[in-house]
Amino acid sequence: MQNNMSHFSLKSLFGAVFLFFAFSFGLKAQDGAKIFKQNCAVCHALTDQKLTGPGLAGVAGRVPKPEAEWLSKWIKNNNTVIASGDAYAKTLVANNGGVDAMSEFEFLSDADLKALVDYVIAPPAAAAPVANATVATEAVEEVKGGIDPLYLLLGAIVILALVLGALRSVRHSLQNSYNRREGKAETPEITFGQEVKQWIGGNRRLVGVFVIIIAFGGMKSCWDACYDLGVYYDWETQKGYHPDQPIKFSHKLHAGDNEIACQYCHNSVEKSKHAGIPTVNVCMNCHKGIQTGPQYGEKEIAKIYAASGFNPKTGVYDAPENPIKWIKVHTLPDHVYFNHSQHVVVGKQECATCHGDVKKMTTVEQKSPLTMKWCIECHRKTEVAMEGNAYYDRMHKALKEKYKGQYDVKFTVEKIGGLECTKCHY
C-alpha cells in the first residue's frame, strides 16, 4: 500500500492519455454504425435486399409513428411489441412466414440504443454496402499475423540514433582538426543531451511537427500491437480487499446456510449493467420478524431498524430513515464499461467465476484482480455460450448459412469483438 501513490498517479496519467487518444480518434461507445455491424448486419442490409430480416432502406417511413420510439421498443424487445398486439409488428412476422426470427437486444444501453436508432433512421450513404456481409469475415481476420509496424518503427529509431551518434563524433573530430589548423582552441566536448537541447531550441516548429506525426501515426499501431505484444496493464490490484461493513452482514449466513438466492438481493443482476446492492426495505422483508441473530444477538439487527426508522417494540415505522452506507468492494475505473446481464444471462457466467465462493464469506472479499489483463484473458479463452441461447442460435444459424463450408469457426468472446478497446472503454 505504501507505494500506491506512484501507481495511482501513473494510472491516472495513462487514463488521461488514453481518453485523449480515444477522443482524437473519434472512437465512441455510442457509435451507431459499429453497433449495427456487430449486432444487426448478419440479418439486415441497409438496402432493399432481404437477408434473414427485411432490408432496412426507408424503414423509418413505414413503421408506426413516432418512428424513433417504435424502433427503440422493437429493437430492445420485439416480443413485447408483438405481444402488445401492435398491428404493424404482426404484419412483419406474417411477412416472415409467420416466424418471429429476430433476436432481443435488452443488453444495449440507452445511449447505444439511441445511437443505433439514429443510425437506422438515417445511415450515412457510404455505410450501405458495408452492412451486407462483412461481419464474419472480419471476425475471422481479427487474428492477424506478420511483422508488427511497432517493431519497424522501433527498429528505425534505433538505426537513426546509431547513425546520428556516428556522425556526431565524426563532426567533432573534423571541427577540432580544423580548429588546430587555424590555431584556435579545441571545441569543448558537450554531452549529447546538451546538444539535443540546443538543437531543439533552434528548431521548435520542426520538432512540433515531428511529435505530432509520431504521436498520431505511432499510436494506431501501438494500439493494435498492444495485444499481440501482450502488453496490457496489470498493475498492483485491489485483490484481497475486504473492508469491514457498517453492519456485520454475512453472505455465509444468508446465501450459504439459509440458501437465499443471490438474485433475491442483487435483483438487477440479470436485467442491467449493475448487480445492485439491496435497500434496507429488502432486509426488512425478513427482519421485521427475525429480530435476533445467532452470533450478535440484537445488536447488529438493531442497526437495520435504525436505518429503516422501524421501532421493533411497537412494530411501527416512526423514526427518520437513515440509509446504510455499505462500503463498495469491487470498483472499476469510470472509463471502463462492464455489464452484468451480458455476462450472467447472455454469456452464462457464474457469479463465483468472478467473485469466488461468496456463499462461504462472512465479509465479502475481492477475489479477482479486475485488471484489463484479467478481462482479456477470459475473453480470449472463453467460448461464447451458443447452446440453447436464443440470441446466438439464430445468429449462428444465419452465419452458418451464409458461410456454408467456408469456415469452421470456434467462437470465443475474442471473435465477437471482445478485445476491441471501445467495447470496454467509454
Residues 347-386 that bind ligand HEC (CB under 6 A): 347, 349, 351, 353-355, 358-359, 364, 370-372, 374-376, 378-379, 382, 384
Give the residue with the Cβ less far from ligand HEC, 172 or 380: 380
Q: Look-up: residue for cell 487474428?
A: 143
Residues 59-98 that bind ligand HEC (CB under 6 A): 59, 62-63, 71, 74-75, 78, 92-93, 96
CB atoms within 10 A of CB 393: 13
Minimum CB separation from ligand HEC for residue 130, in Å? 14
Burial of 116 (0-12, 13-18, 19+ CB in 10 A): buried
Give the residue with the Cβ less far from ligand HEC, 86 or 355: 355
Say which amino acid occupies 315.
G
Give the residue with the Cβ less far from ligand HEC, 183 or 240: 240
Residue window 283-312: x/- pattern of binding to ligand HEC, with contact defined by CB under 6 A: x-xxx--x--xxxx---xx--x--------
Nearest to 364 by CA among 220, 242, 273, 249: 242
Minimum CB separation from ligand HEC for residue 322, in Å? 13
Minimum CB separation from ligand HEC for residue 28, in Å? 14
Vertex 38: Cα angle to 37 and 44 (nearest 5): 50
Q: Look-up: residue for cell 462461504?
A: 360
Residue window 212-241: x/- pattern of binding to ligand HEC, with contact defined by CB under 6 A: -----------x--x------x-x------
Residue range at the interface with ligand HEC (CB under 6 A); choices 55-63, 129-137, 160-168, 177-185: 55-63
CA dist list (Å): 267 to 138, 245, 283, 330, 349: 37, 20, 13, 17, 16
Q: Which long-range contacts (CB under 8 A, 24 or more apart) does 78-83 make?
A: 78/102, 78/104, 79/104
Minimum CB separation from ligand HEC for residue 372, in Å? 3
Site size for ligand HEC (CB under 6 A):
115
Which three cell numbers, joined as nine digits, stand for 208? 512540433
Which three cell numbers, joined as nine digits, stand for 366? 475481492
103 binds ligand HEC per the rule CB under 6 A: yes
265 binds ligand HEC per the rule CB under 6 A: yes
Residue window 120-159: x/- pattern of binding to ligand HEC, with contact defined by CB under 6 A: x---------------------------------------
Give the residue with the Cβ less far from ligand HEC, 96 or 176: 96
CA dist list (Å): 249 to 261, 286, 367: 15, 14, 18
Distance CA 335, CA 328 (A): 18
Give the residue with the Cβ less far from ligand HEC, 176 or 368: 368
